[in-house]
Chain A
Amino acid sequence: MSGEAQTSWLGRLNIDSLSIWRAIENPSVSEFVGAGAALVAIFGGIGALVLITWLRAWGTLWRDWLTSTDHKKIGVMYCVLALVMLLRGVIEGVVMRTQQAFGMGGGFLAPEHFSELFSTHGTIMIFFVAMPFIIGITNYVMPLQLGARDMSFPVLNQISLALTATGAALVMISLVLGEFATGGWTNYPPYTGKDFQPGPGPDYWIWAIVLSGLGTTLTGINFAVTLYKERAPGMTLFRMPIFCWTVLCASIVMIFALPPLTLAALMLAADRYLDFHFFTNDLGGNMMNYVNLFWLFGHPEVYLLVIPAYGVFSEVVPTFSGKRLYGYNSMVYATMAIAVLSFCVWLHHFFTMGQSANVNIAFGIASMAIAVPTGVKIYNWVATMYRARIRMTVPMIYATGFFFLFTIGGLTGVMLANPVISYQVHNTLFLVAHFHNVLIPGVLFGIFAGYHFWFPKVFGFRLEERWGKRAACLWVVGFCFTFLPLYALGLMGMPRRSVMWDDPAFQPFMWLALVGALTILSAVTALGIQLWVSVRNRAATACPLGDPWNGRTLEWSIPSPPPPYNFAQVPQVRTRDDFTDAKATGRAYQPLSAYEDIEMPRNTAIGMIVLIGSTLLGLALIFWIWWLAIVSVGVMLTALIGRTFWLNTTYTIPAEEIARDHQAWLAEVHAAQRITRAEETQAANRGRAALELPQGVSV
């Protein structure tokens, strides 16, 4: 291998790799911030372990969660991972805004440290917050909406989660050991090549991305096959809830757009480890191909995130408007159009790289064209709400914020799709404002809307409304203060990723943005308080009967939380929004004539073996500990292959048990008070909705 001489059995890992040691040796504010983060990571981890031990929860955790192949459990674990990483990402954002607010002529962070911050912030927010959150919600909701018992490949699902968690773990470990890349979330060579950054930073990025990217590709395959093969009888493609359609589009992106990223990262790894010349300055390398490959992934990626968020809004808006979705077919076609178009626009991320105007024009036009199907969607949502009896619950607050703010973000996107404008504002804060403007109101608000909407399905009690509304309003306001000033700063010419600046005219906008960032921090705090309050008062908001919002799709037709097998009998679907139809025509909550045994996949520890093995593999590659790399690959392969010799992978839930639970639940449902929408947020709402049809509107 290239580089320094190998002396230790720990590769290039030594005492100087510890960020805390660096802070002791070389004290400065910047190093203390880094060491503080490392301490938070260490004590956070230890704290979690102590808490689990104190609660004597290890057995439960292992049996009911870590080794579970249940799509619902896996979905929840994805969301927990995303929430933890969200906390770190938001704090990093606030630190960066603080640095820039005081950044005239200096600030308190060292430039290297600031670069590390924006690199981890971007990487975490995209790969370890937005993606796991979307995947987690989908994992939970999609099989329920399809009337399926589980995903097509439950064990693969567990392995995907393990690989995603590996990536997140590597990024967290980089706080303590070594340092993360400083090349931004895009990690462009040649700056990240070994000539300029021989240290472990870019390697952390590479292996976090490659390993978690593999997990995401496998997830995409799982989603797509589940959608094709596991739909309940009668559920044709055009009877699927829109959320499932959006998941199909997202899985297309996961299957086809992740390979370019994996390839780009592996080619960069070949350059760094094996002295290849893909992206180097000399001997025929071409770093522009990296940019090309990265955005071949990068552009579809934003649609991977935002299309399922559209799907969430397409469920939330009809439910809280009490009407069916306006323009279902046009919604489907718009979604598919966006999915395909998203593969035709990647060059707009590098208009200024030097290709001819004709190339730029072609991609500019394609980029603007995406605004058309997106416009169709906004129109459909607004038309759904038109003349409806809208309930302004927390998800609807997020949806409303989304309509206004996302439209602004989309329009600035159309501006940026014009190469002439893009040349002017290239690499300025205008761009930063734009993509936060689509990602926060688009993706994050969609995620939060889904979190509030489906939380009662997952845990059997509703989230507290008042703190939810506070958090939602703080998010909207905080977003506006943080990012709208950045448009102005960008137009004034401030480059992105600047650790410092020297134009006094920037100062007022910087203060505004800092106020906004602190508001967002308080929004996150409000979400935390809401969760705490909700868990404490869960008896008062319990809705175990399963239908707190007068829901329209199959997931609301079963108890909350659902049993492991989801449906006592696989439902027979007759129409779109089948549960609404079932409630209107009296098909819902009917006793079953006969129950059958249900076969479900057994628990397996394979996911945990992959998690530990691939984390060690990542660390071994990052720190050149070759023996450990070989051992960890060997252990994982042995476990995976060994498992294939084991054919007894399912267990049977007896029909009597299913009958007992189902009949008990049905009896409760029939005895329960039917709740009108006016009482929706009160304690009386235990999840049995009264039939309410808006006048003049058919179901």
Chain B
Amino acid sequence: MTQPNAKLHPGLNLGHHHGEAHNQAETVVFGFWVFLMSDLILFGLTFASYITLANNMGMASGPTPADIIDLVNVFAQTVLLLVSSLTFGVASLTMRHKMPAKVTIAWLGLSLVLGLAFLGLAALDFLNMANQGAVPSRSGYLSGLWSLVGLHAVHVTAGCFWIMIMIAQIAVLGLHPIVKSRVLRLGLFWHFLDIVWIGIFSIVYLGGLL
């Protein structure tokens, strides 16, 4: 059990006299880690299923990775997501160091814009694939690809909505301890999605092209 005055999670600084509230925050953050790990299993097995479909049998004489992968787009998506991870980190730092709420909101807003840009590029990628007839109903391989990348995109979409909600909450409620704890968890979620993306660009895109 962590003592109230132990070093806190970054982004969370409730002060020494908030012992009870701090323990509560620790519990909630730990719970969120557990949730993320459960989600990681979901992603991991989607990866495993994709790998079992990414072969000649799974491609069913349909489009191959070389036909459909637009590496420039993927690289741009990767950089966008990575930069948004950084800006979110800065947002949590501004919150931890008790800077004015509007500074935090600005950095959160920047992360949101980058996340939306990522989604835009992902949508473009999906559209290009669909135009080439590379839709999930074409083959098992494409089903696997669309579902894996789509699962990630759905998570990023949820993350974007969550950022919007948190911006609204900071505006309405201020940097209340509960709001801080939520932003902290949102940060874990956002960084986690970037980690999953490492797997996607390494296995699906780069691995697919080899």
Contact = CB atoms under 8 A, between A and B. Distances in A.
B34 A277 contact: no
Given A225-B30, A284-B59, A255 B52 contact: no
A255 B38 contact: yes
Given A262-B42, A284-B140, A255 B37 contact: yes
B172 A284 contact: no
**4 closest Cβ contacts across the A-B interface?**
A284-B140, A284-B60, A275-B137, A276-B143
- B interface majority secondary structure: helix
Contacts of A153: 28, 31
A63 B144 CA distance: 47
A487 B23 CA distance: 54
B154 to A, nearest CB: 11
B46 A275 contact: no
Interface stretch (A410-418, A502-510, A639-647): A639-647
B31 A152 contact: yes
Contacts of A222: 31
Interface stretch (A84-92, A98-106, A285-293, A462-470): A285-293
A221 B34 contact: yes
Contacts of A274: 136-137
A228 B57 CA distance: 46
Interface string B172-189: 110010100010000000
A278 B148 CA distance: 12
Nearest to A278: B143
Contacts of A641: 165
Contact of A645 (B23, B138, B142, B172): B172
A283 interface: yes
B26 A284 contact: no
B49 A284 contact: no
B53 A229 contact: no
Kindly name the residue among A152, A259, A647 whose own CB sees the greatest number of chain B CB atoms within 10 A: A259
Interface string A550-571: 0000000000000000000000
Given A225-B30, A255-B37, A644-B169, A277 B143 contact: yes
Contacts of A229: 1, 23, 26-27, 30
A325 B62 CA distance: 62
A333 B99 CA distance: 49
A152 B137 contact: no
A228 B34 CA distance: 11
B137 A276 contact: yes
A199 interface: no
A222 B32 CA distance: 10
B176 A647 contact: yes
21 contacts: A152-B28, A221-B34, A225-B30, A255-B34, A255-B37, A255-B41, A256-B38, A256-B41, A260-B45, A262-B42, A263-B46, A267-B49, A276-B137, A277-B136, A277-B138, A277-B142, A278-B147, A280-B140, A284-B58, A286-B57, A647-B173
Interface string A312-323: 000000000000
Interface of B: 1, 23, 26-28, 30-31, 34-35, 37-39, 41-42, 45-46, 49, 52-53, 57-60, 62, 136-144, 146-147, 165, 169, 172-173, 176, 178, 182
Contact of B49 (A262, A278, A280, A282): A278
A217 interface: yes
B27 A152 contact: yes
Contacts of A258: 38
A422 B144 CA distance: 32
Given A221-B31, A286-B52, A644 B38 contact: no
A289 B165 contact: no
B60 A276 contact: no
Contacts, number: 113
Contacts of B34: 221, 224-225, 255
A217 B27 contact: no
B29 to A, nearest CB: 10
Contacts of A277: 60, 136-140, 142-143
Nearest to A271: B143
A458 interface: no
A107 B98 CA distance: 76
Nearest to B43: A259
A270 interface: yes
A473 to B, nearest CB: 42
A293 B147 CA distance: 16
Interface string A205-229: 0000000000001001110110011
Contacts of A282: 60
Interface residues of A, number: 38
A296 interface: yes
A278 B147 CA distance: 10
B169 A263 contact: no
Contacts of B52: 286, 289
B169 A225 contact: no
A276 B53 contact: no
Contacts of B1: 229
Contacts of B143: 270, 276-278, 284-285
A529 to B, nearest CB: 42
Nearest to B20: A599
Interface in A610-652: 641, 644-645, 647
A190 B28 CA distance: 42
B144 A278 contact: yes
Contacts of B59: 284
B24 to A, nearest CB: 9
Interface centre among B139, B172, B176 (most CB of A within 10 A): B139
A260 B169 CA distance: 34
Contacts of B31: 152-153, 221-222, 225
A526 B38 CA distance: 41
Given A225-B30, A284-B53, 18 more contacts: A152-B28, A221-B31, A225-B31, A255-B37, A255-B41, A256-B37, A258-B38, A259-B38, A259-B39, A270-B136, A270-B147, A277-B140, A278-B140, A284-B57, A285-B140, A293-B45, A647-B176, A647-B178
B152 to A, nearest CB: 14
B41 to A, nearest CB: 4
Nearest to A231: B1
* Centre residue among B52, B142, B143 by max chain A CB count within 10 A: B143
Most buried by B among A229, A274, A282: A229
Interface string A399-420: 0000000000000000000000
Given A260-B45, A644-B165, A267 B139 contact: no
A278 to B, nearest CB: 5
For B45, B53, B144, which residue has the most chain A Cβ atoms within 10 angstroms? B45
Given A221-B35, A278-B49, A289-B49, A645 B139 contact: no
Contacts of B141: 284
A258 B176 CA distance: 35
